[in-house]
A = this chain, B = another copy of it.
Amino acid sequence: MSIVFADPAALSHAQLEEGTVFAPRFDVQGLITAIAQDAAGRVLMVAHMNAEALRLTIESGDVHYFSRSRGKLWKKGETSGEVQKLIRLATDCDQDVLLLTVEQTGRGAACHTGRKSCFYRVLQDGALADTGEPRLFDPDAVYRR
């Protein structure tokens, strides 16, 4: 019994924005932007999902994405062990972005660089400054590069 998502084109503007029908607006490549945030409000990472990744995420409770660079479905943590458990899934007014609240398991590193969050640099006077986010794993060891 697999989830089938409603077609957003079949909804009125009001239904899309104020209704109860979940009709994720995948783009022309079949992808939707997904933001993963922890319960404390820290944005961990941003990636994309296709319909299959979204279905598997909802059905299993483990977050799945679609890797644009590798062109394939990707269970978060399948290599690194940094599995994300879905706590809450929100969508925005026009249903073209998903906001996931997740529990970041493993060593707590959502980023492939080994850091908790991918957002470890901030703009200061025209250059990026590292916020000093520690590495929770060694990416060379984890990904055997």
Contacts and interface: CB of A to CB of B under 8 A. Distances in A.
Nearest to A37: B43
Sorting the interface of chain A by its residue count into under 10, 10 to 19, 20 to 34 or 35 or more gives: 35 or more
Interface string A30-43: 00010101001111
Interface in A108-123: 111-113, 118-123
Contacts of A123: 22, 58, 89-91
A35, A88, A129 interface centre (most CB from chain B within 10 Å): A35
Give the copy number: 2
Given A22-B127, A43-B43, A93-B120, 8 more contacts: A18-B113, A21-B128, A37-B43, A41-B41, A89-B123, A90-B121, A92-B119, A93-B113
Interface of A: 3, 17-22, 33, 35, 37, 40-43, 45-46, 58, 88-93, 97, 99, 111-113, 118-123, 126-131
